[in-house]
Amino acid sequence: MNEGAEAASGRGLRVCREMRITTEIRWFWPGRPPSAFAEWFTAAGPSWGSASEARTRTTYLRDHAESALGIKKRGGGDGVEIKGLISTRPTVLALAGCVCPVGLWGRWPSKLALAEQNLIKVDKHRFMRRFRLGPASVTDVSPAESGARLSGCDAELTLLTGPDAAPWWTVGFEAFGDLEGVEEDPVATVATVAWGDLPRT
């Protein structure tokens, strides 16, 4: 193999290693969540108190015709994240009276520069719960413990404010880890969460 081929092969391997595979389900509603639902989400499960909370601003590349590929930049960090839909899986999950198919996504970091006039800025107020999955268990873990997970599933309730100041809110589940198990993890997590005294949206 010549030097150029070796370099190309090395680049391909690096891209493969940097790609993160996730499965996700997400619902969006206008306005703000019912108080009973928000209180249930932030308080349910964790023995250390409540769901973690953060406020961020995320900038998205504007493309109204594209639903399977997104490019975004979080906060003031360098670079962007490219996120592409690989497949809509046959698994359909239900929570609080709403249903959604599981999506298999790939994520890649990039140093791509985005032109300011093509961007949409969204403010987020996020409440996050993190789960560790075992052979026969799904367990809430604290924010301090969550960084050690090689696989798992995160659940979030996020309040959104777009460039027109219109309020929206979203509930999502995102599983990560090996491709072999990543589709089953949100199924087990949603089933565990739904055992609680879940208010309807």
**Structural contact between residues 71 and 62, judged by C-beta atoms closer than 8 angstroms:** no
CB atoms inside a 10 Å sphere around CB 100? 19
d(CA 32, CA 160): 9
Average pLDDT over residues 17-26: 85
Percent of the chain residues topping a pLDDT of 70: 84
Tokens representing residue 157 in the block: 């309730």
Give 71-129 pLDDT, tens digit per residue: 999 876 778 999 999 999 999 988 877 889 999 999 999 988 888 888 999 999 999 99
d(CA 125, CA 127): 7
Q: Structural domains in the chain?
A: 21-193 (3.20.100)
User: Quick one: DSSP state of residue 115?
Assistant: -
d(CA 107, CA 127): 22
- What pLDDT does residue 13 have? 34
Give 116-167 pLDDT, tens digit per residue: 888 999 999 999 999 988 888 888 888 777 777 888 999 999 999 999 999 9
Tokens 């010549």 identify what position?
Answer: 2
User: How far is residue 24 from each of residues 3, 15, 38, 117, measured CA to CA in Å?
Assistant: 40, 22, 20, 29
What is the pTM (predicted TM-score) of this model?
0.82
**Structural contact between residues 83 and 105, judged by C-beta atoms closer than 8 angstroms:** yes
Which class for 111: exposed (0-12), middle (13-18), buried (19 or more C-beta within 10 A)?
A: exposed
Q: Which helix (H) or strand (E) holds 36?
A: helix 35-43
